[in-house]
Structure 1
Amino acid sequence: MECPVCGEHLGDAGQVLEGLDRRYAPCHACSQARLDPRAPPPEAGQPCACGRRPLDQVMAAVHAVLADGGGLAPGAPLAAVGTPLLHPFPPLRSPPFLPPSSLILLTRYATPSLARRLLAEVPEVRGVVADRGIVPGVGGATHDLLAGCDVYAEARFTPAGPLVLYKQVSTCHIEAPRPRDPKVEATDRAVRRVLPDVFVDACAGVGTLGLAAALRLVPAVVLNDAWGPAAWFAGLNLHANREALLAGEVDLLASYADLRDVPAPAAPEPVAAARADQEILVYRGSLWDLPPLLPVAGLRLAALDPFEKDPDRLRRIARRWQDRAGGEVFIP
C-alpha cells in the first residue's frame, strides 16, 4: 500500500503494531522535565542521544519557529501552538517521547513558508496542516495541508483485537485514541448480543465500527460513507487489517484521486471488496440508497453514527433506516 499524499509505503496492521508499545518510551537518559502548557515555553531542549525528545520539548521547538516567523505571538502559551497527532498513534497512558518524523501538527498559526521551516528545523515534524476550524467532510470542508504528509496510523484496541486505522488529518474526522472507546465497545456488545449475519456501518467514516464488527467474524459486513476521502480510507483500512479477518484478498476498486474532490454519486459506488469466508464491502454514497445493495439473506444489524447528535433527529434516522432496510438498528 502506498500513501496517497507522499507515496511512502503504508504497513499492514501487524507491521504498525510491532514494537508500538516501545516506540514512544524514554531511554534512561531522556529528560523527564514537563513544561507548563499555560505559559510561553523556555528554549527547547535538544533530542536525547537515543533520538527521542519529550512532546513538550518538541512543541516548544515548534513554538519558537512560529514565533520567530511571526505566525504566533512570542508570549503565547505553549498550548496555543496547535494539536499534535502522532504517526503511528496508540492510546497514550503517559507523555510520549518522539522519534524523528512522528508528529503531524494541526495549527492555526502556520503559513506555507513556516510549515516548510518546521519540517526543516524540527526533526520530529512529519507534516503541518492549517486548522480551518471545521469538521472535515461536513459540507465538503477540509483543512489545508501546508507541508509534508498528513496521513497517520491510529491504533485502536477493541474487545475482539487490535485495529490499525489510517486517516488523513486534512480530510478526515480525527480524535486521539483512548484505551477504551465507548462506541467500539457498544458495537462489540451489540454484535455479541444479536449475532447478525450482516452488519452495516452506514456512516462509517474510515471504518472503525464496521471493522470492529468484522473482527467478531460476522459473515457479511458493509461499510459506507458519503464523504469520498473517508470511504477511501475505509477501503485502505480493510486492506491493512485483512490478516485478522476471514475476508481473503482485498480489491481496492477506486483510487484516492477518484474520490478526493468528486461529489457523492447518485447511487453508492463500490470502493473496496473482499469475498472469502467473510464478505466485506465498502461503498461511497448516501446511506439511504444503500439498502438495495445489502446481502439479502440473514439477520441485519446496523450502526448509525452520523455527526449530528440531536436525539429526536437520531430517532427519526433510525426509524427511517429500519423502514428501508429492516433488521435491528443501534446508535453507538
Structure 2
Amino acid sequence: MKCPTCNGDCILPARKVLDDILGMYMACGSCPPDPEFIKNLPLSDKIDSQSGLCPECKKRHLDFIMGNVLTILKEKGLFPQDALLREVGTPLISFGYQIPYPPRLGAKNIVLIMDSITKDIAEEIVEKVPEIKGVVKRRGLQSQSIGILDTDSSPHTYDLLSGCDMRCDVVLSLFGELCVYKNQSKIHIEFNNTKIKKMEELYLKGELEGAVVIDGFCGPGTLGLLSVLGGAKKVIFNDAWLPALRNTILNIKVNSSLLGLKIVFENPDHNELIGNEPLLLARAQGAAEVMVYHGDIRKLDMAVKESDICLIDTFPSMAPARFMAVCRDMTKKIIII
C-alpha cells in the first residue's frame, strides 16, 4: 500500500508489522556496544552517518543517530558548540512499540520533531542521516494539542519540513493488536495506555460484544478499531478534523485482515478540513458494520439515532462534559476515556 504522504512503501499491513515487531529493533551479534554519551553534557564528538553503524545489520543505536543530527546542526550554526544531545528534538520511531531495550534503527526509522530548525537544514538532515524519515517543526507549546479543539477553533498543526511524517503505533490489548498509522504533523502525539485499559474493562465486562459503538472523537481510529476487535456489531467513527479521518480510513484498510473488514464505500474527494453536519466518508462491512463520518459530534444525531456506547475522548485541555448532553440523545451509555 502506497503512503498518501510520500507515495513510498512505508505503509505495511498490520500482520507484517506485528510479525516483525519483536525483533525489529534488536541488536544483532555484530552490533557495536552502546555509546556512552551523556545527554546532559555537551557532545564533543563529530558523528557522521558511519559512526556506530553495524557492518552486518546496518543499524545504529539511537544516540548515534541523534548525535549525527546534532553534528549537522552545529556545523550549520543553528546550535552552539556546547549543545546537548537531548536538545536536538523528539525522535518518534516509525513503528512505535514499548521496547525493553535500547533500539537499533535502520533506514527511515525516525520521524524527528524539532523546535529549532529551518527547511534547508531539515532537508539536509533527511539527506545525510539515513535513519531520519522526516523532520517536523513544532509550532507552539509542546502541551498544545495538534488538530482542532472543536469546530469553532482554528486548526493547530506542526510543519512537515522534509521527508514523510507517517508513522505507526502498535496497540496491544488483552483481546488483540492493531497498527495505528498517523500523520504526526497533523495528529496529536500520544503516550497513554489508560485508554487501552478502559477498553479492556469494557471488553472483560462483555459490553463490547454485539454492541453499537460511537467513537465520537475518533482521531486516527484507535478506540473504534478496538471496539471492532472486541466484538462490536457496528461502530460509528466521527471526527470534525478531516486529516484524522483520512488516517482512520487508512487504518481500517491496514488492519482489514485482523478486523475482518473491507471498505465498500469511500469518498476520497471531500476536502473540507473542518466538518459541520455529518458527512459519510467511508463504509466498511464484514465482521462488523463500520461508518466513518466527518462532522461536529453535536450534530451527529442527524445521522445516528441510537447506540449502546458512546466513547468520548477529547483533548486534555477540553472538558468532555460539554458534549455529554447531546451524546445522551444518541446512546444508552457514555464512556469518558
Structure 1 and Structure 2 fold alike (TM over 0.5):
yes
Taking the aligned partners of 1:318 and 1:105, their CA distance within structure 2 comes to 37
Structure 1 residues 302-330: Cα deviation after superposition (integer angstroms, max 9, x where no partner): 110111456xx4334323321x2131001
Pick closer, same or farther for the CA change 1:246–1:101 going to 2, 3 Å.
Answer: closer
Is 1:190 equivalent to 2:202 in the alignment? yes
Contact 2:52–2:61 (CA under 8 A) maintained in structure 1: no
Q: How does 1:91-170 map to 2 (within 5 A)?
A: 91-133=98-140, 134-138=144-148, 139-170=154-185
- TM-fit CA distance, 1:46: 3.3
Q: Give the corresponding residue for 2:254.
A: 240
Alignment partners' CA distance in 1, 2:67 and 2:231 = 46
Per the normalisation by structure 1, the TM-score is 0.90
Q: Name the structure 2 match of 1:39.
A: 41
Task: Give the drift of 1:191.
Answer: 4.1
- Correspondence for 1:301 among 300, 309, 317: 309
Q: Shift of the alpha carbon at 1:5? A: 1.2
- Structure 1 residues 60-75: aligned runs within 5 Å: 60-75=67-82
Counterpart-to-counterpart distance in 2, 1:4 and 1:53? 28
Paired residues for 1:1-332 under 5 Å:
1-9=1-9, 10-30=11-31, 31-41=33-43, 42-44=45-47, 45-49=51-55, 50-133=57-140, 134-138=144-148, 139-176=154-191, 181-193=193-205, 194-195=207-208, 197-247=211-261, 249-251=262-264, 253-255=266-268, 258-259=270-271, 262-294=272-304, 296=306, 300-309=308-317, 313-322=319-328, 324-332=329-337
What is the distance in 2 between the residues matched to 1:202 and 1:284?
10
Amino acid at match of 2:117: A
The structure that is helix-richer by fraction is: 1
- Give deviations 1:165-219, integer Å, cap 9, x for gaps: 111111111134x7xx111110231244334520111001101111111101210
User: How big is each residue's C-alpha offset from its partner over 1:39-64, in whole Å with a ceiling of 9 and x where there is no partner?
Assistant: 22233333111201100110010111
Conserved in 1, the CA contact under 8 Å of 2:305 and 2:330? no
Displaced runs of 4+ in structure 1, greater than 4 A? none
Q: How many residues align?
A: 320
Q: Distance in 2 between matches of 1:170 and 1:284?
A: 20
Cα distance between partner residues in 2 of 1:282 and 1:146: 30
Deviations 1:106-161 (A, max 9, x none): 10122111111112211111111111134221331211111111101211111211
2:96 partner SS = coil
Superposed CA deviations along residues 265-293 of structure 1, whole A, max 9, x for unmatched, are 33111222112341011111111111232
Q: Gapped runs of 5+ residues in structure 1?
A: none
In structure 1, how many angstroms separate the alpha carbons of the residues matched to 2:183 and 2:125?
19
Paired amino acid for 1:287:
I
Instruction: Output the TM-score relative to the length of structure 2.
Output: 0.89
Helix, strand or coil at the partner of 1:274? strand
Q: Which moved more, 1:100-109 or 1:39-48?
A: 39-48
For the 8 Å contact 1:201–1:222, the answer to whether it is kept is yes
2-structure distance, mates of 1:211, 1:301: 14
- Aligned-residue CA RMSD (Å): 1.9
Q: Secondary structure at the match of 1:290?
A: helix
Q: Is the 8 A contact 2:243 2:273 kept in 1?
A: no
CA distance in 2, matches of 1:228, 1:162: 25
Q: Is the 8 A contact 1:232 1:254 kept in 2?
A: no
Cα 1:287–1:243 change in 2 (3 A) is same
Using the alignment, how far apart are the partners of 1:128 and 1:315 within structure 2?
Answer: 36
* AA of the residue aligned to 1:14: R
**Letter paired with 2:172:** F
CA distance 1:182–1:154, change in 2 (3 Å)? same
How many angstroms apart in 2 are the aligned matches of 1:72 and 1:35?
Answer: 18
Q: Distance in 2 between matches of 1:283 and 1:192?
A: 28
Matched-pair contact (CA < 8 Å) for 1:38–1:79:
yes
